[in-house]
Amino acid sequence: MSDHWNTYLTSIDKKPASFLLDMEPWKDGDKETFIHLFRLRVMLNEPTEEGLTSNEEASVLYALEDSINDALGPDYLFVGRITTDGRRDFFYYTESADGSQLASLAESCIGDHLYSVARVEEKEPRSFYYESLYPDKINWNRMANRQLVQKLNELGDSLTIPRIVRHWIYFDSAESRSRFKDHVQEAGFRIEDQDFRDNKYSLIVSREDAAEFDAISEVTDELVHAAERYDGDYDGWETQVVKEKAGFLGGLKKMFKIK
């Protein structure tokens, strides 16, 4: 288990799904022989209308998760969990095809929740992790967006104010880059720079957009899809910190907490 964990929200079968994931469970070549995957499924007693956890039940499940993981020790590798459709699934890799230790701990640790333990058959070792747990390009960028937006917020950025946001995209051919340029210019993006280096055709585009999470994620979703359509690879964005100008209106907002 690494120290590099992250979360993302997506959908499964058109229902909201919350993921918590160890992004580098085998970073140091550790646990290479852990090739058997088990799922512990816990049914939620009081799911929200979206099928996710309420604040009250979440605290109970956090304690349950910690108790089981601490008791399992080094014999099991906890790689992540999914919460969706009124259930929370925990995923563990281990050396043995015998999941009796996990089943025994679940029986002793889980109180009034319905649960089940099952082995997950994989096409190849770790294929479930990379194909079903690991984020796709859209969700990967949304995780990066959240971290960057959080940093901007910590620096006092007024996230809803539009500002110039620059985006980096890379291509294997000049033709693909040219077709992408035509596409994004129609969407209001400006071509800032382009280059050819290390066998990659780079492109920087910009547009005025707000930097709050939902707004910037709509932009990056659009650019990721466009880049894939034209055989490119979207590589992220940057912007300057923008703070609301001080003045009479700003003073009123602070005084009356106008949102």
Other beta carbons within 10 angstroms of residue 48's beta carbon come to 13
Q: Average pLDDT for residues 78-87, to the nearest whole number?
A: 98
C-alpha angle 188-234-9 in degrees, rounded to nearest 5: 100
Model pLDDT for residues 114-164, shown as the tens digit of each residue: 999 999 999 999 999 999 999 999 999 999 999 999 999 999 999 999 999
Band (257; pLDDT cuts 50, 70, 90) = very low
Model pLDDT for residues 8-67, shown as the tens digit of each residue: 999 999 999 999 999 999 987 878 899 999 999 999 999 999 999 999 999 999 999 999
Chain region(s) in the chain for CATH 3.30.70.970: 137-239
Other beta carbons within 10 angstroms of residue 90's beta carbon come to 24
Return the residue matching tokens 């490119």.
232
Please give the CATH number for the structural domain made up of 5-133. Answer: 3.30.70.1110
| pTM tops 0.75, yes or no | yes
Chain region(s) in the chain for CATH 3.30.70.1110: 5-133
**252: pLDDT strictly greater than 70:** no
Query: Are 15 and 52 a contacting pair, CB within 8 Å?
Result: no
Please give the CATH number for the structural domain made up of 137-239. Answer: 3.30.70.970
